[in-house]
């Protein structure tokens, strides 16, 4: 262990990473550089700086990555309408490649020998952090304390924190072990406590961003979102930076009880895990993006994207953001978005996102003269459909004739 003189720790200031900071100093006898990413978790980050100072850290990085996170990670993912296992909008998964990228950059800047993270040996995040780190620096050394130490429960971590006078915020009014939580501009997740029983309903006071649909306003709220090349650029006529737009959608969606999810998912490491998520802005964006694509994408291109999306979602969920296959697929996805321009009108009401209008002045493939139920003045010849149907039925007719002969 003596070969590690300096390590960059992904540090939130929470229970796990606060313990890890002290543990690295004691076990590896090394200098620790802390890196705290502001990706919109909505918590004050200065306490993390003060905690790090308390334990003798001299190099402390607290970086505002909100705009980069939404612009370069969240929006590219949403161009693909990405959903994992039919429900999960990948809020935690998509943040990890950015954190891995910045960890490697800081390691190079500070001439550190290694990086470290607080992901457990049972979870997906260890895979995401480390695959990303190795893709960006194949020779980096990675220290994963959860795979080395014997502090394998929240209770043991709390006891270690008490022993070493490490302050810990108790995030649950009943005390005991807090929820395992992860927050950023796209979502907030909850795991642990009684959520480990998939039959138990989540406590109402657990949710932080959204009101329950029952308590949402009785009056619907309308939104207009404008798109350019597949990315949202304005909300209700006001041009906003990517992170500002997502933050405002989170506020509006949370107000109307939108974006709650209770999910049992299949982790990459092999186990099933139950988690709860709040993704108000992302839920709105997914609905809006599919709506604008519905009038601007060719049918077969849209269907191809839908075919590829589960594969793309698994790449992100499993930690392969920096892989050549994800980057190749991203090139295809981005190419399809050149004509995804226009606006979508939505109605928010008691947990629902309802599309009520969409249009594109430059790229709409919807031709009302052909689609109309009224007289189309010869724009569409109904007689053409007969031959179309017969040709498509030919193989089935041949098979039917063969069956009749038997």
| Cβ 395 vs Cβ 327: under 8 Å | no
Q: Report the relative pairing of strands 6-10 and 114-116 from DSSP bridges.
A: parallel
Is 96 annotated as catalytic? yes
Is 334 annotated as catalytic? no
The whole-angstrom separation of Cα 70 and Cα 66 is 6
Q: One of 12, 18, 180, 360 is an active-site residue; which one?
A: 180
Is 212 annotated as catalytic? no
The whole-angstrom separation of Cα 169 and Cα 141 is 31
* DSSP class per residue in 97-127: HHHHHHHHHHHHHHT-SEEE----TTSSHHH
Backbone angles phi, psi at 154, to 5 degrees: -60, -35
The whole-angstrom separation of Cα 405 and Cα 200 is 58
- What is the arrangement of strands in the sheet containing 352-359, beginning at the earlier edge strand? 238-239, 231-235, 221-228, 342-349, 352-359
Of 169, 182, 179, the residue nearest 47 (C-alpha) = 169
Q: Which residue has the tokens 């260890």?
A: 126
Q: One of 12, 18, 79, 96 is an active-site residue; which one?
A: 96
Backbone angles phi, psi at 180, to 5 degrees: -80, 115
Q: One of 16, 113, 182, 231 is an active-site residue; which one?
A: 16
Compute how many other C-beta atoms are within 10 angstroms of the C-beta atom of residue 77: 21
Is 367 annotated as catalytic? no
Q: One of 125, 189, 358, 360 is an active-site residue; which one?
A: 125
Q: Any residues with CB less than 8 A from the CB of 307 and at least 6 apart, and which?
A: none
Active site residues: 16, 96, 125, 180
């Amino acid at each position: 262990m003596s070969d590690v003189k300096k390590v960059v720790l992904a540090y939130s200031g929470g229970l796990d990473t606060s313990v890890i900071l002290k543990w690295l100093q004691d076990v590896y006898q090394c200098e620790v550089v802390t890196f705290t990413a502001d990706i919109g978790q909505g918590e004050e980050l200065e306490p993390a700086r003060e905690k790090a100072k308390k334990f003798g850290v001299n190099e402390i990085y607290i970086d505002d990555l909100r705009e980069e996170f939404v612009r370069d990670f969240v929006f590219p993912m949403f161009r693909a309408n990405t959903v994992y296992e039919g429900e999960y909008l990948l809020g935690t998964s998509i943040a990890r490649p950015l954190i891995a990228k910045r960890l490697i950059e800081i390691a190079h800047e500070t001439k550190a020998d290694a990086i470290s993270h607080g992901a457990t040996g049972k979870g997906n995040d260890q895979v995401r952090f480390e695959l990303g780190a190795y893709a960006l620096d194949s020779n980096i050394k990675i220290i994963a304390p959860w795979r080395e130490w014997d502090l394998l429960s929240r209770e043991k971590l709390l006891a270690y924190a008490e022993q070493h006078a490490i302050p810990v915020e108790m995030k649950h009014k009943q005390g005991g072990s807090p929820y395992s939580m992860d927050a950023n501009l796209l979502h907030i997740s909850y795991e642990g406590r009684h959520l480990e029983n998939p039959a138990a309903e989540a406590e109402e006071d657990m949710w932080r961003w959204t009101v329950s649909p029952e308590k949402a306003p009785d009056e619907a709220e309308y939104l207009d979102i404008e798109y350019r090349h597949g990315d949202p650029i304005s909300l209700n006529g006001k041009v906003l930076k990517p992170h500002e737009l997502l933050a405002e959608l989170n506020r509006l969606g949370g107000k109307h009880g939108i974006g709650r999810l209770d999910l049992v998912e299949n982790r990459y490491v092999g186990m099933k895990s139950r988690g709860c998520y709040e993704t108000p802005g992302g839920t709105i964006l997914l609905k809006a993006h599919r709506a604008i694509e519905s009038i601007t994408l060719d049918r077969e291109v849209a269907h191809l994207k839908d075919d590829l999306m589960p594969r793309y979602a698994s790449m992100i969920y499993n930690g392969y953001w920096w892989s050549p296959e994800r980057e190749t697929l991203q090139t295809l996805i981005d190419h399809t978005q050149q004509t995804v321009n226009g606006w979508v009108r939505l109605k928010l009401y008691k947990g629902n996102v309802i599309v009520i209008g969409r249009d594109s002045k430059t790229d709409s493939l919807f031709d009302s003269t052909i689609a109309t139920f009224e007289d189309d003045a010869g724009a569409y010849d109904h007689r053409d459909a007969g031959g179309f149907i017969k040709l498509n039925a030919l193989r089935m007719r041949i098979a039917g004739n063969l069956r009749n002969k038997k």
